[in-house]
Every structure is written in C-alpha cells, then in structure tokens.
C-alpha cells in the first residue's frame, strides 16, 4: 500500500504537490466512516475482478469554512506475475 496526500493549501507556484504519507489519521462520524468503507469495499471487489483502474469519491469536509470537499482516489496496484 502506498499513501499519498495533498496539502490543504494551494501553492500558486507549484499547485498541489503530492506528499508521501507514512501514517494516516481519520476523524469522522460513523456515517462518514461507513460511506468511506463501502467505497473501499467496492473498489476491492472491482480490483479482484480485474474491472478496475481507478475510482474516486468526494466526502464532506467538516472543518469550519472548508474550501473544498475531501477527495479520496484509489488506484489499482499493479499485480506482479
């Protein structure tokens, strides 16, 4: 598994520069976690069936005055073999 994140603030010169993430912390309601979990389960099923390239979902950002939603993208990991 590889986790890549993007900063909350947009850099006018560089755009959104990817950040390699080692650990991930999620703060969410049960409803939000369930929606994310169902999305990840569906991605997993599609990967197993080889009918998957990438999928994304936008979730609600519950921070005060969010500029955008929270975007999660899942990419299929290349299978060795």
Instruction: Give a yes or no: residue 81 inside a domain.
Output: no
Backbone angles phi and psi of 58, in degrees to 5: -110, 130
Instruction: Give a yes or no: residue 8 inside a domain.
Output: yes
For residues 54 and 75, is the Cβ–Cβ distance under 8 A? Answer: yes
Task: Specify the pLDDT at position 6.
Answer: 85
pTM of the model: 0.75
Going residue by residue through the chain, which has 81 residues, state the pLDDT in tens, using 9 for 90 and above. 888 888 877 778 888 888 898 999 999 889 999 999 999 999 999 888 888 888 999 888 877 777 778 889 998 876 655
Range of the domain at 42: 3-75
Structure tokens at 4: 């890549």
Instruction: Give a yes or no: residue 46 inside a domain.
Output: yes
Instruction: Give a yes or no: residue 80 inside a domain.
Output: no
Structure tokens at 32: 């939000």
Task: Specify the pLDDT at position 66.
Answer: 74
Q: How many CB atoms lie within 10 A of CB 43?
A: 20
Task: Specify the pLDDT at position 70.
Answer: 86
């Amino acid at each position: 598994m590889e986790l890549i994140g993007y900063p909350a603030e947009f850099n006018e010169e560089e755009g959104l520069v990817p950040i390699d993430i080692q650990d991930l912390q999620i703060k969410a309601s049960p409803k939000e976690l369930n929606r994310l979990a169902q999305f990840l389960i569906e991605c997993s099923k599609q990967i197993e069936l080889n009918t998957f390239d990438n999928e994304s979902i936008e979730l609600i950002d519950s921070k005060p005055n969010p500029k955008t939603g929270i975007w999660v993208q899942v990419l299929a990991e290349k299978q060795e073999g």
